[in-house]
């Protein structure tokens, strides 16, 4: 079994170290939640822990991918990658709604802003979080290359969202901590949280919407099908020789199944030669797609 | 039997509609009664019933739509659609289970219950309706295991809520309601986790396990395909459907027509054994593979 390349190892290390840093933050959050008996802090710790679970799941799949442990997925690992994206997207969506709920609950309870000491402590913790996100994003961006796996791209995207969100939170919470007027403090605290919620929900929704059609075996778009038909024509397959065309997508890899009844193939050798040529032609045309030409094995009545 | 007839049978024909309508009515009663009772056990059961109902409803609607032909553009079937919906329901179950468990813990720790003895009595009566419905579903005996399990779990919750309603001591009532809620939370989380793992595996084109692949190889042997003829076997699961792609060396056949007819027989032989198989057969001369 081949081991991971140096480049792949650096990607794994970038994801691992940022996840471990996040783990440290979660541990501190849990510690303070228990120490202060704060249910709000405890729920925040649970939310971050859930996100962390998804991060570790992504890392686990990335490691398996780099070590070729997913070879048994004979139809490709595109769907596994999309499932990772779905998990990250869903976690972002969930977190976004959670934060939005907290903002609304705080506004409805007409609570005054946290105490100055509480806001100052929050600003310090937020700064640590911002630093972790910045370092994590820098490490991951440095290891990124063209043609990276979808899992790594999704992790990088999620980290960028977290960095942007934590930067905005830092600005808002610093203003809130420095503000002498409690109304201004509450306002900036709320604006920061609402912005974070908005970004998380938008990106999360986009990620879920992007990967769902693939996971559902949705057929390829009409223009791609037309491209396939044109490629078949250029490979010498006439329209009436194509009995059935089934398509779906697995990550970035289109999967095409053609049922052909090629004319003028008296012997199996002729048939095999011709369909192999068609498969190769389509693969070249569709950027290495998974193409299967299957024999028409139905009864005449079924056809 | 045509595909349409088979599908109509699997949707339960028209019989499933009234059953779903009855469940919907019961769910409405639960949704109205739960806020009035303040019982955490009933809240948990309402969430569980709502999610299970949504699953049943989506399954029924997908099959109805398939029957009407509006999902025909899914060329590889709609099982993945059903699995994605199951995945969402499973996630909702896990989250709801954890939420109810948190509320139950909070209730035990703080000891501040919002329910009254009248509320608990109403909760017991409402839950009794759900238990009765589940019991009636058990009447044609030899029911599948999940239905019996649901009935048994409802009986446990019913005992808890009845104990809470009859208890003179408010602390016993609170404890009984909390334990009932913790029980339903545990059930929801466990069921959600089980559904999640099944649906996730089906969504990622997971191959069949070795035992199932060996079974397919056995079927092929029975259908007359020699071991050396089978060049490759690719399998994947998609809900109830199993996709099998065979690559066969047709060297035993002289002409293409002869090979085509033999593959037709093979396909029919496999379909007779298992009606959930979607079989695609590639013919390739050894060493002439593409790519």
B chain contacts of residue A91, beta-carbon cutoff 8 Å? none
Which ipTM did the prediction report?
0.74
Average pLDDT, chain A: 81
Residue B271, in any domain of the structure: yes
Instruction: Say if residue B276 is in the same domain as residue B222.
Output: yes
Distance from the Cα of A114 to chain B's closest Cα (Å) equals: 23
Helix-strand-coil split of chain B, %, nearest 5: 70, 10, 20
**Best mutation target, A221, A268, A298, to test chain B (most B CBs within 10 A):** A268
Q: Percentage of chain B with pLDDT > 90?
A: 37
Q: Which residues of chain A have pLDDT under 70?
A: 1-2, 33, 36-44, 109-115, 298-303
Q: What's the pLDDT score for residue A112?
A: 53
Residue B59, in any domain of the structure: yes
Q: How many domains does chain B have?
A: 2
Does the pLDDT at position B41 exceed 90? Answer: yes
Q: Is B269 on the interface with A (CB under 8 A)?
A: no
For A109-140, how does the pLDDT look when each residue is reduced to its tens digit (9 = 90+)? 655 556 677 777 777 877 888 888 898 889 88
Quick one: pLDDT band at residue B142, thresholds 50, 70, 90?
low
The C-alpha atoms of residue A36 and residue A42 are separated, in whole angstroms, by 10
Q: What's the pLDDT score for residue A38?
A: 60
Instruction: Say if residue B98 is in the same domain as residue B186.
Output: yes
Pairing of strands A290-295, B230-238: unpaired
Nearest to B290 by CA among A87, A277, A66: A277
What CATH number has the domain spanning A222-295?
3.30.70.1350
Q: Do B259 and A271 touch (CB under 8 A)?
A: yes
Q: What's the pLDDT score for residue B178?
A: 94
Does the pLDDT at position B149 exceed 70? Answer: yes
What domain range is B265 assigned to? 210-283
Query: Least CB-CB distance to A219: which of B73, B205, B254?
Result: B73
Residue B98, in any domain of the structure: yes
Does the pLDDT at position B214 exceed 50? Answer: yes
For B157-213, how does the pLDDT look when each residue is reduced to its tens digit (9 = 90+)? 999 999 999 998 888 999 999 999 999 999 999 999 999 888 888 888 888 888 888
Instruction: Write the CATH number for B255.
Output: 3.30.70.1350
Instruction: Say if residue B107 is in the same domain as residue B246.
Output: no
Residue B291, in any domain of the structure: no
For B217-270, how does the pLDDT look when each residue is reduced to its tens digit (9 = 90+)? 888 888 788 888 888 899 998 887 889 999 998 777 678 888 888 888 888 888
What count of residues does chain B have? 291
For the stretch A158-197, what's the b/e string if a residue is b when 16 or more beta carbons lie within 10 angstroms of its beta carbon? bbebbbbbbebbbbbbbbbbebeeeeebbbbbbbbbbbbb
The C-alpha atoms of residue B237 and residue B204 are separated, in whole angstroms, by 9
Instruction: Say if residue B247 is in the same domain as residue B220.
Output: yes
For B62-104, how does the pLDDT look when each residue is reduced to its tens digit (9 = 90+)? 888 888 888 888 888 888 888 889 999 999 999 899 999 989 9
Does the pLDDT at position B155 exceed 90? Answer: yes
């Amino acid at each position: 079994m081949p081991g991971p390349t140096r480049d792949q190892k650096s990607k794994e290390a970038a994801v691992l170290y940022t996840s471990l840093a996040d783990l440290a933050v979660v541990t501190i959050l849990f510690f303070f939640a228990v120490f202060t008996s704060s249910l709000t802090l405890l729920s925040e710790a649970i939310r971050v822990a859930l996100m962390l679970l998804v991060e570790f799941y992504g890392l686990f799949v990335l490691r398996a991918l780099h070590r070729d442990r997913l070879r048994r997925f004979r139809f490709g690992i595109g769907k596994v990658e999309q499932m990772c994206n779905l998990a990250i997207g869903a976690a972002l969506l969930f977190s976004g709604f959670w934060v939005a709920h907290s903002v609304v609950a705080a506004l409805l309870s007409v609570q005054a802003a946290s105490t100055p000491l509480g806001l100052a402590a929050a600003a310090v913790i937020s700064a640590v979080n911002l630093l972790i996100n910045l370092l994590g994003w820098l490490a991951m961006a440095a290891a990124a290359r063209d043609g990276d796996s979808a899992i790594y791209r999704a992790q990088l995207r999620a980290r960028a969202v977290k960095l942007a969100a934590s930067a905005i939170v830092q600005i808002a919470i610093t203003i809130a901590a420095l503000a002498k007027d409690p109304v201004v403090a509450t306002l900036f605290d709320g604006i920061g949280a609402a912005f974070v919620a908005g970004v998380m929900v938008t990106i999360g929704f986009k990620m879920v919407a992007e990967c769902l059609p693939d996971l559902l075996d949705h057929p390829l778009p009409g223009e791609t099908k037309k491209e396939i038909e044109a490629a078949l024509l250029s490979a010498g397959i006439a329209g009436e020789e194509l009995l059935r065309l089934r398509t779906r997508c697995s990550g970035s890899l289109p999967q095409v199944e053609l049922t052909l009844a090629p004319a003028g193939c008296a012997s199996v050798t002729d048939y095999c030669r011709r369909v192999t040529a068609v498969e190769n032609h389509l693969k070249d045309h569709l950027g290495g797609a998974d193409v299967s030409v299957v024999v028409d094995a139905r009864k005449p009545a079924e056809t | 039997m045509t595909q349409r007839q088979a599908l109509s049978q699997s949707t339960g024909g028209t019989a499933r509609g009234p059953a779903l309508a009855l469940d919907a009515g019961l769910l409405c009663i639960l949704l109205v009664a739960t806020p009035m009772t303040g019982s955490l056990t009933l809240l948990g059961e309402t969430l569980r019933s709502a999610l299970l109902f949504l699953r049943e409803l989506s399954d029924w609607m997908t099959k109805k739509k398939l029957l009407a032909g509006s999902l025909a553009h899914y060329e590889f079937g709609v099982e993945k659609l059903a699995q994605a919906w199951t995945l969402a329901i499973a996630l909702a179950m896990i989250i709801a289970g954890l939420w109810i468990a948190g509320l139950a813990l909070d209730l035990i720790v703080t000891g501040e219950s919002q329910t009254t003895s009248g509320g608990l009595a109403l909760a017991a009566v409402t839950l009794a309706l759900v238990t009765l419905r589940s019991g009636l579903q058990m009447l044609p005996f030899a029911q599948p295991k999940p239905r019996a399990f649901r009935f048994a779990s409802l009986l446990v919750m019913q005992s808890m809520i009845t104990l809470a309603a009859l208890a003179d001591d408010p602390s016993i009532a609170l404890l009984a309601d909390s334990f009932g809620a913790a029980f339903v939370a545990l059930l929801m989380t466990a069921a959600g986790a089980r559904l999640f793992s099944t649906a996730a595996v089906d969504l990622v084109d997971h191959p069949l396990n070795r035992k199932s692949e060996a079974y397919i190889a056995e079927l092929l042997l029975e259908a007359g395909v020699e071991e050396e003829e089978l060049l490759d076997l690719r399998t994947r699961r998609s809900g109830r459907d199993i996709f099998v792609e065979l690559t066969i060396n047709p060297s035993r056949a002289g002409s293409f027509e002869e090979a085509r007819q033999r593959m037709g027989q093979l396909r029919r032989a496999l379909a007779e054994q298992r009606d959930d198989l979607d079989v695609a057969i590639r013919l390739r001369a050894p060493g002439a593979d593409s790519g």
